[in-house]
Structure 1
Amino acid sequence: MNSIRERAGGFLVGVLVIAFGGLWALQDSGAFDAVGMGPDGRTIGEVDGIAIEGELYNRAVEQQLDAYQAQGLEVTGSQQRQIEDRVFDSFVDNALVEREMDRLGVQVTDEEVFALITGDTPDPLIAQVFPDGNGGVDRAALQQVVEDPNGEFTDQLQAIEEQVRRNRRQAKLSALITASTRVTPGEVRDEFIRQNRQASAELVGLRYAAVPDDQIEVSDSDYRSYYRDNIEDYEREASYSIEYVGFAKDPTAADSARATDELDTMVDGFRTAADPLAFARRNSFGAAAEPEFIGAGDLPAELATAVYSDLTEGRVVGPVVAGDQAYLARIVGVQPGDATSVRARHILFPAGAEAQAREVQARIESGEISFADAARQYSTDQSNKNQGGDLGWFGEGRMVPEFEQAAFAAPTGRVTGPITTSFGLHLILVEARASQEVQLVQIARPVEADYARVLGEAEDFAAFLVLEDRDFAEEAQERGIAPTPVEIQEGQAQVPGLELGRDFFRYLRRADIGQVSEPFDAGTSFVIARLVERREAGPAPFEDVQGQVEAAVITEKKKAVQMAALREAVAGASSLTAIASAAGAEVTSADNLSMAAGVIPGYGVEPRAVGAVFGLRPGQQSGVIEGDQAAFVVRTTALVGGTDAEFTDIAREQLAEQLLQRKRSRVLQAWLEGLREDADVEDFRNDLL
């Protein structure tokens, strides 16, 4: 009986996705009851003058955050804001839908509810609350709740009934709204062809970008005229210009030492433990995994190096820091491996720099410079040059074939190369190799930055700016931090690269020009910002978008040149080959064209040209087509697929159902958007939360 209570109660605490895909039934949070609750509690919004209560809204948000955290997910500031916005929108949508159902008189009888709970075709909610493990309903458990003689499950049953009634009511509303939605045989046939037919074509294309700049004439008046004629394209929302600096939450040597010091206290106990796995499980964050035999290439490089330096069973390795973890490991087994792993370094030179590569190789072999120092000085591989070209351990299949073949054949401790790959020329130094697999019991600790220290640095920076009246950029540069300028639109939910919450955007709205912010948690860093400028909504001044305008005008001019050239070629020639010759171009082939994708290989997305190919019969040739990237003349050579023989009754029925559901979804979405547009929705959260 307790398991029934847990299943019913636990499920109803969550968020239920119901008939309208965009609406949330926030049952336990009271989402459907949050509108019109009266003056109790803080109002965080209104729908046509009816209050949305802050207490219920906050409860719903907390449930969503708990659901994320229960899955072990960290919720960043920007993610929390997205959750808050979705919850607020759900309150608004639910309020509008409930009002419409009342207006239209959509009702559900008690008999319908009872049948949807206990009948042969129950509401999907019932199978979720009372699952039998096979996708059906545990009828015995359901019956215990329905026929509960002591009223022990009265509250749960009432909640289920309310949700089932709401689901059914909304399903009726959905059916009412979409009752006139139909899919014609012609639509089904057209969609079948669109999805299944492919085409081949020959074409002549004159790219607009191929026109040299000196072949067009552009004046300042052209730019100004284009800007005036297309000024609606340059409308922008109210926006903010800021500059910010970030204080990264990167671990320091002291942070690594904290993690290794903690593991140091376990070394003796780990070494003498009769059951090392049990010891690891008692001392690990989370469950320690069952040890499996793995090769060096499958371990973090630093840990692999420490382990494979001595493969004595029973030896405790570490603490070793690798990436963002500190490890303590005990070797509990060693066996021959199926493959060899190597640890290597490399120096990458540009293709064609063989003389330089051989000169550096000679200096390394003479002892004039170490391989690691040469990598730091000469390698063009930015991912590891600062680590002396260290590639760590790797097994077969991890590197490009030429590099891998050379590395696995190279003797340990000797420089091999230069080796040519698609990346350039490589000198390779294999430092170690291992053909055995090892079985480890591991204890790990995260190496985390001292957030209080990083936050303190950020706070000191902000306080110093204010107290000493220092220039933001100058002070940042003196501290070795590069300020980053950013443009942020009003209503923008996040700043690229930063995980910022609502408190940051509240600062933007309220700050004075030049005001320095408090530190904001941005996920991987703490951010200090300064408001540089606030702009009102409206057309962007010409000077602000001049680069965009110039690019657009130049493209239009070049488009006109290529369109005229191709029209002239078509006027004097009939065959595609003759047109290409007259236009100074070539005839190219394009196979496997898809109407759904609209892509021409080598040109990109060109829907007008692809549409023309499918609109012609094999052998027919088009006129001049103004594409997005080029002017085209196309000749269809073949149309395959999407035939009557392939258009079976099963395919027809499946596609008709897909199109019908798609149409219904669009109708419902348009209906809901219409309700939103007509409603007077007030959102007070920015001022209150």
Structure 2
Amino acid sequence: MGIMGYLRERMGKIVAGVIGISLIAFVITEVVQSGGSFFRDDNSTIGEVYGEKIPYQEFNETVEQNSNQFKEQSGGALSPQITAYIQENTWNQMLSKAMISHEADAVGLQVTGDESQAMISGSNPSPEIVRAFTNPQTGQFDRASLTSTISKLRVTPDVDPQKQRWKKFVQELVENKLAEKYMTGITNGLYVNSLEAKDDYEAKNKLANFKYAVLDYQSVQDSKVTLTDADYSSYYEEHKNEFKNQQETRGIEFVTFNGAPSKADSAAVKASIEKLKPEFSASTNDSLFVQINSETKQPFAYRKKGELGSGLDSVMFNAAPGFVYGPYTENGHYALAKLIDSRVGPDSVTAKHILLAPGDGIKKADSLKALIQGGKSFAEMAKMYSMDQGSAAKGGDVGTFARGAMVPAFEDAAFNGKPGDYKIVTSQFGVHLIYIVAQKGSSKVVKVAVVDKPLNASSETQSAAYSKAQQFLINVNDGDFNAQAKKAGLEVKNADDVTGSAASLPGLESARELVRWAFNAEKGDVYDQVYTSGDQYVVARLTAIKPQGILPLDAVKKQIEPMVRVQVKAKMLTDKFNGALSGAATIEQAAQKAGATVNAVQNIVLANPVIPGVGAGPEYKLIGTIFGSQVNKLSKPVQGQQGVFIFSVNSFVNPAALANNITQKQQLLQGLVQRSQGEALEALKNKANVKDYRARLL
């Protein structure tokens, strides 16, 4: 289709991608909110940045735009997870834009009118402009089309949707340019000095040869370790900043009762569709039969081999018209398939068309066809009369397309005719006068009608599952949720750290209402009704409320228990090594007294602190200590990731002197630049006083 058609179809993608161009290294996380924010009465605000409100309507409109674009690209409906993903990306996009705009204003940074003009129609326009106005036939930027479009938009009323989309497009280009300028100002201030380059070079090339002995944490049985409140407090105080909650979260436990279709339900659905098979086979109006009897109203279209699915290819491409196959299962449905027709047809078609309004469109198409066959130019008629302005600007040319690219009526006419034919057909867009320019390739295609019935649970199956869930809910009193679950033989599932914007929980595709309840409930509350998620009936209880900020010890006690146990074991093993080191002159003597084995390691570098044979992870503290030690000196115990170590350095091998540090500086600077954008936005987020009200509005 034409350029403006391209913009209509692709604008969502263009808009959604603009911010990402300059912020590609950073995906901003959800941001914090105040504990009482969910109970505010202002339902017109989705959040705040620097005290400025983010309108819910603007957020919702952008979500809808991005959702429509996703559906156009994927061709399917949106699942709760995809919807949540789009909402999250939209939120992050709006936060990024608001933060950068605020900071740019503070430093007087702006995109001038001349810069905006240059981005749109200058000698080196924005890549998004180039992409939008690239001729699909030549693959080249079509400046004439850009100029023509701008000229038309200048005289188009402001209320015209096309002009509004264009303004939004340009606005996003300007905002992207502003973000790019802001980030460029940050990255231009980065610098790597010669000392940093030298340190990095040595960290990657200086070699350490040493011997070590280790007492593994696994050598101490968990049953031999008693954890005290002091142990928990000690670990918590040392690692307190690791428990900073970036946003308020909830913990939910729940049990589910399965209401999925039973074997009896499956047999009933299969039997119902089997009853249709004789009627389907005898039907002389397959389209009407499908409309009356099928759950899915699929349009009939010719398909190439490989496009039918469910093993239909091997059946239908070797059958005679009228053959009915099934029942078979596909995507949770029982189905019958009937071969309507098979033929050999082209693989692709090149065509032109003139799109006319319904009503007298057929009569007008007949008149235009006669004029064109009488010598009038198709291209001129398209420019004068076609409602598809995009293709009209190219003389009605819609290019070359394969099967499945056009609506069925258009496709059938183009593929079933022959080059030089004029066809008049009606689709949901209007009346088309089609001229078939050329056809290429040749392959067998089939047209198949499908009747399907969904495999749904019967009311009896659903009622039985719901009744069990309802009885469980009645039995649950404060504090005995897990006891009742154990008594009923049910698995209690846990969803920890649930965010306010979450749309699903582990094992539950649709849980938005449950999450909204959790952010208005008190710890220990049980959801007061059976919650339905797909074919699951759910009884849930709120187990934790984690506020924004550094979490208290009680909130993380269960989480840190394994690490606290390791710390206590480390103290025990450190004491054991200290006893062995007393009076020992060599690492061999100390290891023997401690019951450990000495191992020799060669050619370890600081930049890759992995010791062969010692677990799978890096030993940062150990290797860092080694590179700061003296040769032939027996170390004190070092608490590592795998266990407690002692070591003795045999030698260091220094690399050749760094003659030219330019490459080293460039590599370090590149890493700084990549990190700087994300870190800059993280810093902005921390000072922007962002408030997130999505939990109560979405």
TM-score category by the smaller chain? 0.5 to 0.7
Which residue of structure 1 aligns with residue 517 of structure 2? 507
Task: Say whether 1:482 aligns with 2:482.
Answer: no
2:561 is the counterpart of 1:560 = no
* In 2: Cα distance, 1:127 partner to 1:641 partner: 52
Question: Please, what is the CA RMSD of the aligned residues?
Answer: 5.8
Q: SS of 1:163's equivalent?
A: helix
Taking the aligned partners of 2:534 and 2:569, their CA distance within structure 1 comes to 46
Whole-Å separation in 1 of the counterparts to 2:205 and 2:338 = 58
In structure 2, give the amino acid aligned to 1:6: G
Task: Judge conservation of contact 1:462–1:518 (CA < 8 Å) in 2.
Answer: no
**Residue 84 of structure 1: which of 75, 80, 87 is its match?**
87
Aligned mates of 2:600, 2:277 — CA distance in 1: 69
597 and 264 in structure 1: CA distance in 2 versus 1, 3 angstrom threshold: farther
Cα pair 1:507 1:517 within 8 Å, conserved: no
1:276 aligned residue: none
Per the TM alignment, residue 536 of structure 1 is displaced from its structure 2 partner at its CA by 8.4
Question: What is the CA-CA distance between 1:610 and the residue it aligns to?
Answer: 3.4
| Distance across 1 between alignment mates of 2:635 and 2:450 | 70
Q: Distance in 2 between matches of 1:640 and 1:449?
A: 71
Shift in Å, 1:204: 1.7
**2:538 matched to which residue of 1?**
527
Shift of 1:637: 7.7
- 2:108 matches 1:108: no
Match 1:449 to one of 441, 444, 456: 456
- Matched residue, 2:622: 609
CA contact (8 A) 2:472 2:484 kept: no
- 1:643-658 equivalence runs, <5 A: 652=664, 655-656=667-668, 658=670
* Partners of 2:187 and 2:673 within 8 A in 1: no
Change (3 A) 1:221 1:665: closer
* Residue aligned with 1:628, SS: coil
8 Å contact 1:455–1:519 — kept in the other structure?
A: no
Q: Contact conserved, 2:634 with 2:648, CA < 8 A, in 1?
A: yes
Deviation at 1:160, TM superposition (A): 4.0
The structure-2 alpha-carbon separation of the partners of 1:254 and 1:470, relative to structure 1 and needing over 3 Å to count, comes to farther
The offset of 1:4, in angstroms, is: 0.7
2:592 aligned partner? 581
Q: Output the CA distance in 2 between the equivalents of 1:198 and 1:289.
A: 64
- Stretch deviating more after TM superposition (166-175 or 526-535): 526-535
Pairwise mapping of residues 246-257 of structure 1 onto structure 2 (< 5 A)? 246-248=256-258, 250-257=260-267
Per-residue CA distance 1:549-591 (angstroms, 9 max, x = gap): 8765654443233224434545655555444334322233567
> What SS is found at the alignment partner of 2:105?
helix
Preserved CA contact (<8 Å) 2:473 2:539: no
Q: Structure 1 292/194 Cα, relative in aligned 2: closer, same or farther at 3 Å? A: farther
* Cα distance between partner residues in 1 of 2:652 and 2:453: 59
Match of 1:28 in 2: none
The separation in 1 between residues aligned to 2:670 and 2:560, in whole angstroms, is 43
* Counterpart check, 1:42 vs 2:49: no
Match of 1:180 among 160, 170, 189: 189
Deviation at 1:506, TM superposition (A): 2.2
Task: Name which of structure 1's ranges 162-171 and 68-77 shifts more when overlaid on structure 2.
Answer: 68-77
Q: What's the counterpart of residue 101 of structure 2? A: 98
Instruction: Describe how 1:152-301 pairs up with structure 2 within 5 A.
Output: 157-188=166-197, 190-191=199-200, 202-211=211-220, 226=234, 243-248=253-258, 250-257=260-267, 260-261=270-271, 264=274, 290-291=304-305
Task: State how far apart, in whole Å, the 2-side matches of 1:582 and 1:467 are.
Answer: 63
Indicate conservation of the 8 Å contact 1:251/1:447, yes or no: no
Which of 57, 61, 79 matches 1:55?
57
Distance 1:475 1:568 in 2: 48
Answer yes or no: is the 8 Å Cα contact 2:622–2:640 preserved in 1.
yes
CA shift in 2, pair 1:468/1:104, >3 Å: closer
Could you tell me how far 1:615 is from its partner in structure 2? 6.0
CA distance in 2, matches of 1:219, 1:470: 32
Identity of aligned residues (%): 22
Separation in 2 of the partners of 1:289 and 1:620?
Answer: 77
Contact between 2:265 and 2:458, CA under 8 Å: does it hold in 1?
A: no
Higher RCO (CA-CA < 8 Å; seq separation 6+): 2
Q: 2:141 aligns with which of 128, 132, 137?
A: 137
Cα distance between partner residues in 2 of 1:24 and 1:136: 32
**In 1, Cα distance between the equivalents of 2:695 and 2:668?**
46
Q: Which amino acid aligns with 1:319?
A: P
Q: Partners of 1:479 and 1:244 in 2: how far apart? A: 15
Cα distance in structure 1, aligned partners of 2:208 and 2:506: 40
3-state SS of the aligned residue for 1:107? Answer: coil
Q: Which deviations, in whole Å up to 9, do the C-alpha atoms of 1:114-169 show, x marking residues without a partner?
A: 22223343222213322356986333432332454984675555444333322222
**Cα distance in structure 2, aligned partners of 1:233 and 1:317:** 64
SS in 2 for 1:245: strand
Alignment correspondent of 2:642: 629
One-letter amino acid of the structure 2 residue matched with residue 664 of structure 1: S
Residue 482 of structure 1, CA deviation: 1.7
Question: How far off is 1:672 after superposition?
Answer: 1.9
Q: Distance in 1 between matches of 2:140 and 2:231?
A: 67
Superposition TM-score, scaled by structure 2 size: 0.60
Cα distance change of structure 1 residues 576 and 46 upon mapping to structure 2, 3 Å threshold = closer
1:605-642 deviations in Å (ceiling 9; x for gaps): 22122334566799997654321231223466899999
Q: How far does residue 500 in structure 1 lie from its aligned partner after superposition?
A: 4.4
Query: Per-residue deviation at 1:5?
Result: 0.5
Cα 1:663–1:182, aligned 2, differ >3 Å: closer, same or farther?
farther
Contact 1:16 1:24 in 2 (8 A): no
Aligned residue identity for 1:114: Q
Query: SS in structure 1 opposite 2:254?
Result: strand
Structure 2 CA distance for aligned equivalents of residues 182 and 246 of structure 1: 57
Q: Report the equivalent of 1:3.
A: 2
Equivalent residue letter for 1:584: G
What one-letter code is carried by the residue in structure 1 that aligns with 2:10?
A: F
Q: Is the 8 A contact 2:281 2:324 kept in 1?
A: yes
- Deviations along 1:183-226, one digit per CA (max 9) or x if unpaired, are 3344455556666888776532111331357987x586755875
1:16: which partner in 2?
A: 17
Aligned in 2, Cα 1:193/1:500: closer, same or farther, shift over 3 Å? farther
**Letter matched to residue 515 of structure 2:** F
SS at match of 1:246: strand
Distance (whole Å) between structure 2 residues aligned to residue 653 and residue 135 of structure 1: 39
CA gap of 1:210–1:90, structure 2 versus 1, over 3 A, is: same
The whole-number CA distance in structure 2 between the counterparts of 1:638 and 1:444 is: 78
Distance in 1 between residues matched to 2:633 and 2:139, nearest whole Å:
55
- Amino acid in the other structure paired with 2:615: Y
Tell me the TM-score normalised to structure 1 length: 0.61
CA spacing shift, 1:468–1:74, aligned 2, 3 Å: same
Give the AA of the match of 2:17: L
Deviation per CA, 1:453-508: give whole Å up to 9, x if none.
77655665566678899999699879967262647557464643333443212222
Specify the alignment match of 2:67 in structure 1: 65
8 Å CA contact retained: 1:77, 1:523:
no
Question: What amino acid is aligned across from residue 3 of structure 2 in structure 1?
Answer: I
Q: 1:231 to 1:258 in 2, by over 3 A?
A: same
Matches of 2:595 and 2:123, distance apart in 1: 73
SS at match of 2:4: helix
Alpha-carbon contact 2:208-2:602 (below 8 Å) kept: yes
| Gap change, CA 1:231 and 1:147, over 3 Å in 2 | closer
CA separation in 1, counterparts of 2:121 and 2:100? 27
Secondary structure at 1:180 match in 2: coil
**Structure 2 counterpart of 1:144, one-letter code:** S
